[in-house]
Structure 1
Amino acid sequence: MEVCPYLEETFKILGRSWNGLLINYLSRTENYSAHFSDIKRDLKSITPRALSLKLTELSEWGLVEKKVISTTPLSIKYVLTAKGVALSEAMHPIEAWAQEHLELEGSNRSEA
């Protein structure tokens, strides 16, 4: 019996550092979009270089789009594509499972 190649490919995306968290983060923002500085501020552990690489990677998979807004100064937002939104919605049952079955160090279940 083989593993589903589609599931295997999906875990190649989600199994890489930060990818799942970035998709989840953008799915919780207004209009599924955020500026680089907002993402960096809220995901404190990621370095600017890693964040840049991950956003590029997610863009190459068609999950995130980089939008340049013609203002002075230029403004850049990262937006989940329809494909990215669909993946974030598919992650909701995993999040629910984790909240029910996993204990986070130093946290209380009622905080989640």
Structure 2
Amino acid sequence: MEGEVADEAVGPAGDDCGRYCPSFHQTVELLGRRWNGVILHALMAHAERFSEIRAVIPGLSDRLLAERLRELEREGLLSRTCPIGAGAPRYVLTAKGRALGPVIDAIASWAAEWSRAAD
């Protein structure tokens, strides 16, 4: 009725998660885990080799980069390919990973406008 608050909230995608949505929580935790967002950003900018990714992310250790790449691969966001005779493995976003492009772009735009680090 008028003035009543619904028990269930409907999200922007039309989902019926209510006040707490496990899918949203899991996704935010994955993207917010240290370095994951910037690694995905680097992959979207076409860095494919381990050394290329490491070069565009200052302060990221080899050990942590390897750990995060394995995690993102387990989550199905990227695949690791080892071309025969082509040297180092390549990391390529899957369709699931590429689908995060608008999300990563939106975060980058927000950061450019609102982040204190940009000042």
TM-score normalised by the chain length of structure 1: 0.81
Q: Following superposition of structure 1 onto structure 2, how do residues 35-46 of structure 1 map, counting pairs within 5 Å? A: 35-46=49-60
Q: 1:95 aligns with which of 108, 112, 116?
A: 108
Superposed structure 1 runs of 4+ greater than 6 Å apart: none
Structure 1 residue 50 corresponds to structure 2 residue 50 = no
Equivalent pairs counted in the alignment come to: 102
Structure 2 residue identity aligned to 1:19: N
Gaps of 5+ in 1: none
* Seq. identity, %: 32
By percentage of residues, which structure has more strand?
A: 1
Question: Which protein has the larger Cα radius of gyration, Structure 1 or Structure 2?
Answer: 2
- Which residue pairs with 2:13 in the alignment? none
Q: CA RMSD in A?
A: 1.7
Which one-letter code corresponds to 1:17 in the other structure? R
Higher RCO (CA < 8 A, seq sep 6+): 1
TM-score, length basis structure 2? 0.77
